[in-house]
Structures are given as structure tokens and as C-alpha cells.
Amino acid sequence: MKLPQSAFIREVGPRDGLQNEKQFVSTEKKLEWINLLVESGLSYIEVSSFVRPDWIPQLSDSVDLFTRLKKKDGVTYAALVPNKRGLMSAFEVDADEINFFVSASETHNLKNKNASTEHSMSDIRSMITECKNNKKTTRAYISTVFGCPYEGAVDQMKVINLANQLLDCGVDEISLGDTIGIANPLQVNQFLENLVKEVPVNRIAMHFHDTYGRAIANLYTSLLFGIEKFDSSNGGLGGCPYAPGASGNVATEDVVSLLHNLGITTNVDEKKLHQATSYISEQMNLKPVSKLFSVWNGSKESI
């Protein structure tokens, strides 16, 4: 087992982070935050989602937000869509990449999408085809991979089966989500041992939440399997509104710090990233979850 030389962050703060915070952050502030994230070197931003505005009012400005983005070359500005109506909106605003989601747990999928997993997969298949026709790259989230707040344990073979189905219909990347942060490194290890036999590692991203403080441990375990792509949220913002008790995506700053400490390159400038963390924290009057933040702000000596 050998660590990769470089790794790639999918910054999901503006979408996955904000959707579970109560406050509405103005479009102007979102634009400023996204610019700071891009300036730090992040090359993938999940900007927003095209869900029903009454479901997730925090992201109700997604059309306006995408329209006003000043895109930087080499950066992917992605949109999450739940259905064809959302897909049409994402096409209209010319999102660079379209992201879909399905849950490995039937109950979670039902609560999240009001449909069976099979029905959701059928919709996603058809939408991926439309994306290909429109020359858009695609990404699919499989959520509750390591446990469901309603059903408990999740069958790992069902996850691998869903991943294979998604790859068969041509999705570019699959993000495997520990939606409630319940995974432990032993479980991640056992799961990935099976997964890598069936699925090409370079099409997989891991999406960890830090509810139980295990996200970095799980992420490190994934690195040992050659996985190079990770979702994270600046400031550790977010969670999942349909997963009770879920708290916070792993913080981008903790992920970048780990990767650099391991000698893995990311193209992210930690000091510039800290400016983005400071900005969104101040705007939302929240304390960033990463303890690193207090090191940056409080320490007179570099460590």
C-alpha cells in the first residue's frame, strides 16, 4: 500500500455545507467566498444545487449565483441536481459538471428523493445520457455508504452494485458518502478491499463527515488504497438535512493539512485557504470546526 503523490479536493462547502446551515448567505457573499476558495488553489467547487427552493431555501439563489460567477480557467464549477427540471436549470446556467445523488439505503433514498433507489437510478441513467449529449461531465453521489440513520447497517455489496451500474452508464466520477459520519477505518478498509477489485480507483472519490471525529482516519485509510479524490467543506460547514444527527463535512483545511503533512501535493495554498475560512466564518458568525483555525489565529510561532 502506497500513498498517492497528489490528491484532489472537491470543495462542497457552498452546496453541501450551506444546505444544512440555517442562515441564508447572500449571493454576493457566496460569490466572494467561492472566489477566495478558487484563489486558494481549489480547482473544483460544487457551487449550488437546483432543488426546490422551498426544500432548501439556503440554495434558492442557484440560478442567480451561477449566472454571476466569474469563472476561472481550469476550475470546475459543478451543480447538484435532483431531477430533470433541475438538470434543465443546470444546462441553462452552463454548469461545468452535473452531480446526481442516490442513497444506498432505501429508507434514506425515500426520505431524500421521495423515490425508490431503483427509480432514482433509472432517472439518473437517463440524465447522464442527456449530459453526454450536452457534453457535460457527470458525478454521482452514493450516500449512506457506511450506515443509514434509519436502517442502520448498509449492505456493502449493494453499494458496489450501485457503483457498477453508475459506471456502466458512463458517469465520470462516483463520490461515496459517509453521510452520518459513522464509518470507522476498519470498516473503510474492509469495504475498499472489496471495492477496488470491482471498480477503477481513479473514478472514485470519498466523502466523509466528521460527526464522530473519524473523518481524517477514514480518509487516510482511503489514501492507502490509492484513492486521490476527496470531498470536503471549507470550515467544516454542513451536514445533511435528511440525516438526523449528521454534523459537518470534514473540513477542507484539515484535509489539506493532512495531505501536505504526508507529502502529498494538492495545489492548495493553506494561508490563502485560511482567508476563505475566515471570510465565511465571519459572515456566518460561526466558529470553524477545525482546531487548526485557532492555531492559525492564535499561535505566534509556526509549528
> Helix, strand, or coil here: 204?
strand
Query: Least distance to a copy of itself from the beta carbon of 62, Å?
Result: 27
From candidates 220, 269, 278, 283, binder to a copy of itself by CB under 8 A: 220
What is 31-48 written as a DSSP string?
Answer: HHHHHHHHHTT--EEEEE
The reply to whether 169 belongs to the active site is: no
DSSP letter at 174 equals E
β-pairing verdict for 229-232 and 204-208: parallel
Task: Specify the stretch interacting with a copy of itself by CB under 8 A; choose among 89-97, 123-131, 153-161, 204-212.
Answer: 204-212
* 273 is a contact residue toward a copy of itself (CB under 8 A): no
Count CA within 13 A, CB hemisphere, residue 213: 1
C-alpha of 57 from chain center? 19
Q: Is the CA virtual torsion 89, 95, 98, 101 positive or negative?
A: negative
Q: Which of 52/291 has CB closer to a copy of itself? A: 291
Q: Name the minimum Å distance from CB 13 to a copy of itself.
A: 16
* Nearer to a copy of itself (CB atom), residue 49 or residue 105: 105
108 binds a copy of itself (CB under 8 A): no
Q: Work out which of 43, 76, 156, 184 binds a copy of itself, going by CB under 8 A.
A: 184
Q: Is 295 in the site for a copy of itself (CB under 8 A)?
A: yes
Burial class (CB in 10 A: 0-12, 13-18, 19+), 5: exposed
Please pick, from the candidates 208, 240, 254, 277, the single residue that binds a copy of itself as defined by CB under 8 A. 254
Q: Does 153 bind a copy of itself (CB under 8 A)?
A: no
Q: How far is the CB of 182 from a copy of itself (least distance, A)?
A: 6
CB 14 within 8 A of CB 33: yes
Q: Which stretch binds a copy of itself (CB under 8 A): 116-124, 166-174, 192-200, 245-253?
A: 245-253
Task: Kindly state whether residue 251 participates in binding a copy of itself, applying the rule CB under 8 A.
Answer: yes
Burial class (CB in 10 A: 0-12, 13-18, 19+), 301: exposed
Examine residue 42 and tell whether it contacts a copy of itself (CB under 8 A). no
| Catalytic position from the list 131, 148, 169, 240 | 240
- Complex with a copy of itself: residue 185 or 226, whichever CB lies closer: 185
Q: Which region among 32-40, 98-106, 133-141, 184-192 touches a copy of itself (by CB under 8 A)?
A: 184-192
Quick check: 182 binds a copy of itself (CB under 8 A)?
A: yes
Over the window 75 to 104, marking each residue x when it contacts a copy of itself by CB under 8 A and - when it does not, the resulting string is ------------------------------
**Burial degree of 148 (CB within 10 A; 0-12, 13-18, 19+):** buried
State the burial class of residue 290 (Cβ atoms within 10 Å of its Cβ: 0-12, 13-18, 19+): buried
Cell triple for residue 144?
Answer: 449512506
Q: Give the 3-state secondary structure of 183-194.
A: CCHHHHHHHHHH
Residues 48, 97: Cα–Cα separation, whole Å: 11
Binding site for a copy of itself (CB under 8 A): 3, 147, 149-150, 180-182, 184-186, 210-217, 220, 244-245, 247-248, 250-251, 254, 257-258, 261-262, 289-292, 294-295, 298-301, 303
Q: Which residues are catalytic?
A: 240
